[in-house]
Amino acid sequence: MSRLVDFLFSLSGFGVLTAIGAVWLARRPASAAARRFLLGVVSALVVLSTFAVPYAVGRLLVLGYHPFTAADVPRARTAIVLLGAGGTTAVDWTGEHYSLLERVGAARVLEAVRVFRMTPGAVVISSGGVSNEEQDPDAVMQREALLQLGVPASSILLEDQSKNTHDEAVLIAPMLGQLGVSHVVLVTSDLHMRRSMAVFRAAGIDAVPAIARDPRAADRWYLKLLPSREGLDLSRAVVHELLGIPYYVVRGWARF
Protein backbone atom coordinates (compact mmCIF):
# COMPACT_ATOMS: atom_id res chain seq x y z
CA MET A 1 0.00 0.00 0.00
CA SER A 2 2.80 2.39 0.94
CA ARG A 3 4.58 1.89 -2.39
CA LEU A 4 1.33 2.39 -4.31
CA VAL A 5 0.68 5.69 -2.51
CA ASP A 6 4.27 6.78 -3.15
CA PHE A 7 3.84 6.07 -6.87
CA LEU A 8 0.42 7.66 -7.29
CA PHE A 9 1.51 10.82 -5.48
CA SER A 10 4.60 11.33 -7.63
CA LEU A 11 5.33 12.97 -10.96
CA SER A 12 5.78 9.49 -12.41
CA GLY A 13 2.34 8.44 -11.23
CA PHE A 14 0.65 11.51 -12.64
CA GLY A 15 2.68 11.11 -15.84
CA VAL A 16 1.33 7.59 -16.32
CA LEU A 17 -2.25 8.71 -15.64
CA THR A 18 -1.86 11.62 -18.07
CA ALA A 19 -0.49 9.28 -20.73
CA ILE A 20 -3.44 6.94 -20.25
CA GLY A 21 -5.85 9.85 -20.65
CA ALA A 22 -4.03 11.13 -23.74
CA VAL A 23 -4.09 7.70 -25.43
CA TRP A 24 -7.74 7.25 -24.52
CA LEU A 25 -8.62 10.66 -25.97
CA ALA A 26 -6.56 10.00 -29.13
CA ARG A 27 -8.38 6.73 -29.77
CA ARG A 28 -11.81 8.17 -28.93
CA PRO A 29 -11.73 11.90 -29.67
CA ALA A 30 -15.46 12.26 -29.09
CA SER A 31 -15.39 10.58 -25.69
CA ALA A 32 -16.60 12.90 -22.96
CA ALA A 33 -15.38 10.41 -20.35
CA ALA A 34 -11.83 10.59 -21.72
CA ARG A 35 -11.86 14.38 -21.56
CA ARG A 36 -13.20 14.34 -18.01
CA PHE A 37 -10.56 11.80 -16.98
CA LEU A 38 -7.72 13.88 -18.43
CA LEU A 39 -9.09 17.08 -16.90
CA GLY A 40 -9.48 15.34 -13.55
CA VAL A 41 -5.88 14.12 -13.57
CA VAL A 42 -4.49 17.57 -14.39
CA SER A 43 -6.76 19.27 -11.84
CA ALA A 44 -5.76 16.76 -9.14
CA LEU A 45 -2.07 17.39 -9.86
CA VAL A 46 -2.50 21.15 -9.55
CA VAL A 47 -4.49 20.92 -6.31
CA LEU A 48 -2.37 18.24 -4.62
CA SER A 49 0.93 19.90 -5.54
CA THR A 50 -0.16 23.27 -4.16
CA PHE A 51 1.51 23.24 -0.73
CA ALA A 52 -1.25 25.15 1.05
CA VAL A 53 -3.80 22.38 0.36
CA PRO A 54 -2.09 19.39 2.03
CA TYR A 55 -0.71 21.70 4.71
CA ALA A 56 -4.23 22.73 5.72
CA VAL A 57 -5.40 19.10 5.83
CA GLY A 58 -2.29 18.02 7.69
CA ARG A 59 -2.93 20.49 10.51
CA LEU A 60 -5.77 18.20 11.61
CA LEU A 61 -3.22 15.45 12.25
CA VAL A 62 -1.03 17.60 14.49
CA LEU A 63 -3.71 19.16 16.71
CA GLY A 64 -2.58 19.13 20.32
CA TYR A 65 1.13 18.85 19.62
CA HIS A 66 3.64 21.61 20.30
CA PRO A 67 7.41 22.00 20.02
CA PHE A 68 9.29 20.28 22.84
CA THR A 69 10.21 22.72 25.63
CA ALA A 70 12.08 22.69 28.92
CA ALA A 71 8.76 22.01 30.67
CA ASP A 72 8.51 18.70 28.80
CA VAL A 73 11.93 17.43 29.94
CA PRO A 74 11.48 14.27 32.05
CA ARG A 75 12.96 14.36 35.55
CA ALA A 76 14.52 10.89 35.35
CA ARG A 77 16.88 8.95 33.06
CA THR A 78 15.48 9.25 29.55
CA ALA A 79 15.74 7.51 26.20
CA ILE A 80 15.24 9.67 23.11
CA VAL A 81 13.82 7.48 20.36
CA LEU A 82 14.56 8.85 16.89
CA LEU A 83 12.38 7.29 14.19
CA GLY A 84 13.75 6.79 10.67
CA ALA A 85 12.51 8.63 7.60
CA GLY A 86 14.56 7.14 4.76
CA GLY A 87 17.34 8.60 2.70
CA THR A 88 18.94 8.75 -0.72
CA THR A 89 21.87 6.75 -2.08
CA ALA A 90 24.47 7.23 -4.79
CA VAL A 91 26.26 4.21 -6.29
CA ASP A 92 29.50 4.31 -8.31
CA TRP A 93 30.69 2.06 -11.16
CA THR A 94 32.15 -0.50 -8.74
CA GLY A 95 28.97 -0.80 -6.68
CA GLU A 96 30.27 1.31 -3.81
CA HIS A 97 27.43 3.33 -2.31
CA TYR A 98 27.04 6.43 -0.19
CA SER A 99 23.81 7.19 1.66
CA LEU A 100 22.49 10.49 2.95
CA LEU A 101 19.40 11.52 4.86
CA GLU A 102 16.56 13.25 3.04
CA ARG A 103 15.35 16.62 4.36
CA VAL A 104 12.62 15.15 6.55
CA GLY A 105 15.06 12.71 8.13
CA ALA A 106 17.59 15.49 8.69
CA ALA A 107 14.92 17.57 10.44
CA ARG A 108 14.20 14.66 12.81
CA VAL A 109 17.90 14.38 13.65
CA LEU A 110 18.07 18.11 14.40
CA GLU A 111 15.12 17.77 16.77
CA ALA A 112 16.69 14.76 18.49
CA VAL A 113 19.90 16.76 19.04
CA ARG A 114 17.93 19.72 20.41
CA VAL A 115 16.11 17.44 22.86
CA PHE A 116 19.37 15.68 23.81
CA ARG A 117 20.97 19.00 24.73
CA MET A 118 18.01 19.74 27.00
CA THR A 119 18.00 16.30 28.65
CA PRO A 120 21.09 15.53 30.77
CA GLY A 121 22.20 11.89 30.78
CA ALA A 122 19.83 10.84 28.00
CA VAL A 123 20.58 8.04 25.55
CA VAL A 124 19.50 8.29 21.90
CA ILE A 125 18.09 5.22 20.15
CA SER A 126 18.53 5.74 16.42
CA SER A 127 15.91 3.58 14.74
CA GLY A 128 15.16 2.42 11.21
CA GLY A 129 16.14 -0.42 8.90
CA VAL A 130 16.87 -0.60 5.19
CA SER A 131 14.50 0.03 2.27
CA ASN A 132 16.88 -1.59 -0.24
CA GLU A 133 20.16 -3.51 -0.08
CA GLU A 134 22.19 -0.68 -1.63
CA GLN A 135 21.22 1.83 1.07
CA ASP A 136 22.49 2.10 4.61
CA PRO A 137 19.89 1.57 7.34
CA ASP A 138 18.17 4.74 8.50
CA ALA A 139 19.61 4.13 11.95
CA VAL A 140 23.17 4.23 10.61
CA MET A 141 22.64 7.40 8.55
CA GLN A 142 21.06 9.08 11.57
CA ARG A 143 23.91 8.02 13.84
CA GLU A 144 26.44 9.63 11.50
CA ALA A 145 24.43 12.86 11.54
CA LEU A 146 24.07 12.74 15.34
CA LEU A 147 27.83 12.34 15.72
CA GLN A 148 28.49 15.27 13.38
CA LEU A 149 26.16 17.42 15.48
CA GLY A 150 27.96 16.64 18.72
CA VAL A 151 26.12 13.70 20.28
CA PRO A 152 28.75 11.38 21.84
CA ALA A 153 29.01 7.88 20.38
CA SER A 154 28.60 6.46 23.88
CA SER A 155 25.10 8.02 24.04
CA ILE A 156 23.83 6.44 20.80
CA LEU A 157 22.27 2.99 20.38
CA LEU A 158 21.05 1.49 17.10
CA GLU A 159 17.91 -0.35 16.11
CA ASP A 160 18.52 -1.13 12.43
CA GLN A 161 16.21 -4.08 11.68
CA SER A 162 12.75 -2.46 11.52
CA LYS A 163 10.77 -2.05 8.30
CA ASN A 164 7.96 0.18 9.61
CA THR A 165 6.77 2.05 12.69
CA HIS A 166 5.23 -1.05 14.22
CA ASP A 167 8.54 -2.91 13.95
CA GLU A 168 10.33 0.04 15.53
CA ALA A 169 8.08 -0.02 18.59
CA VAL A 170 8.27 -3.81 19.00
CA LEU A 171 12.05 -3.91 18.67
CA ILE A 172 12.70 -0.87 20.87
CA ALA A 173 10.48 -2.01 23.78
CA PRO A 174 12.95 -4.66 25.05
CA MET A 175 15.87 -2.25 24.53
CA LEU A 176 14.19 0.20 26.90
CA GLY A 177 13.79 -2.56 29.47
CA GLN A 178 17.47 -3.43 29.27
CA LEU A 179 18.46 0.22 29.65
CA GLY A 180 16.27 0.63 32.70
CA VAL A 181 15.03 4.05 31.61
CA SER A 182 11.78 5.33 33.06
CA HIS A 183 10.94 7.97 30.45
CA VAL A 184 10.88 8.08 26.66
CA VAL A 185 10.88 11.05 24.33
CA LEU A 186 9.68 10.15 20.85
CA VAL A 187 11.11 12.18 17.97
CA THR A 188 9.49 12.12 14.54
CA SER A 189 7.79 14.40 12.03
CA ASP A 190 4.68 16.28 13.10
CA LEU A 191 2.44 14.42 10.63
CA HIS A 192 3.81 11.06 11.74
CA MET A 193 3.56 11.72 15.47
CA ARG A 194 -0.08 10.80 16.12
CA ARG A 195 0.26 7.33 14.59
CA SER A 196 3.69 6.83 16.19
CA MET A 197 2.42 7.66 19.66
CA ALA A 198 -0.46 5.22 19.22
CA VAL A 199 1.88 2.47 17.98
CA PHE A 200 4.31 2.88 20.87
CA ARG A 201 1.39 3.00 23.31
CA ALA A 202 0.15 -0.33 21.91
CA ALA A 203 3.64 -1.74 22.55
CA GLY A 204 3.42 -0.63 26.19
CA ILE A 205 5.54 2.51 25.81
CA ASP A 206 4.18 5.85 27.00
CA ALA A 207 6.25 8.61 25.43
CA VAL A 208 6.56 12.38 25.43
CA PRO A 209 6.23 13.70 21.83
CA ALA A 210 8.92 15.90 20.27
CA ILE A 211 7.77 16.96 16.81
CA ALA A 212 10.41 17.89 14.24
CA ARG A 213 9.87 21.10 12.30
CA ASP A 214 8.83 20.32 8.73
CA PRO A 215 11.73 21.56 6.54
CA ARG A 216 9.28 22.35 3.75
CA ALA A 217 7.58 24.96 5.93
CA ALA A 218 10.58 27.28 5.56
CA ASP A 219 9.75 28.22 1.96
CA ARG A 220 8.46 31.71 1.19
CA TRP A 221 4.70 32.05 1.73
CA TYR A 222 3.82 32.85 -1.87
CA LEU A 223 5.52 29.66 -3.08
CA LYS A 224 3.00 27.71 -1.00
CA LEU A 225 0.26 28.97 -3.34
CA LEU A 226 1.93 27.55 -6.45
CA PRO A 227 2.19 23.91 -7.61
CA SER A 228 5.51 22.39 -6.59
CA ARG A 229 7.28 19.09 -5.98
CA GLU A 230 7.29 19.89 -2.26
CA GLY A 231 3.51 20.28 -2.27
CA LEU A 232 3.05 16.92 -3.96
CA ASP A 233 5.47 15.32 -1.50
CA LEU A 234 3.51 16.78 1.42
CA SER A 235 0.25 15.46 -0.07
CA ARG A 236 1.83 12.01 -0.24
CA ALA A 237 2.83 12.26 3.42
CA VAL A 238 -0.66 13.36 4.50
CA VAL A 239 -2.40 10.59 2.54
CA HIS A 240 0.11 8.07 3.88
CA GLU A 241 -0.94 8.97 7.42
CA LEU A 242 -4.68 9.15 6.66
CA LEU A 243 -4.50 5.61 5.27
CA GLY A 244 -1.90 4.37 7.74
CA ILE A 245 -3.83 5.25 10.89
CA PRO A 246 -6.92 3.07 10.16
CA TYR A 247 -4.70 0.31 8.73
CA TYR A 248 -2.67 0.16 11.94
CA VAL A 249 -5.83 0.21 14.04
CA VAL A 250 -7.33 -2.71 12.09
CA ARG A 251 -4.10 -4.67 12.46
CA GLY A 252 -4.15 -4.01 16.21
CA TRP A 253 -0.85 -2.12 16.00
CA ALA A 254 -2.12 1.18 17.37
CA ARG A 255 -3.96 2.21 20.54
CA PHE A 256 -5.49 5.68 20.73
- Alpha helices, H only, 89-228: 103-118, 138-148, 165-179, 190-202
Percentage of residues of the chain with pLDDT beyond 90: 73
**Tens-digit pLDDT profile for residues 106-130:** 999 999 999 999 998 899 999 999 7
Per-residue pLDDT, 147 = 97
Residue 218, pLDDT above cutoff 70: no
Beta bridge partners of 124: 80, 156
* The model scores a pTM over 0.75: yes
Beta bridge partners of 156: 124
**Tens-digit pLDDT profile for residues 160-180:** 999 999 999 999 999 999 998
Q: Domains in the chain and their CATH numbers? A: 2-48 (no CATH), 66-219 (3.40.50.620)
| Termini Cα distance of the chain | 22
Residue 44, pLDDT above cutoff 90: yes
Q: For residues 6-16, b (16+ Cβ closer than 10 Å) or e, as one string?
A: eebbeeebbee
Q: For residues 201-234, b (16+ Cβ closer than 10 Å) or e, as one string?
A: ebbebebbbbbbebbbeeeeeeebeeebebbbbb
Split at pLDDT 50, 70, 90, the class of 1 is: low
Per-residue pLDDT, 91 = 85
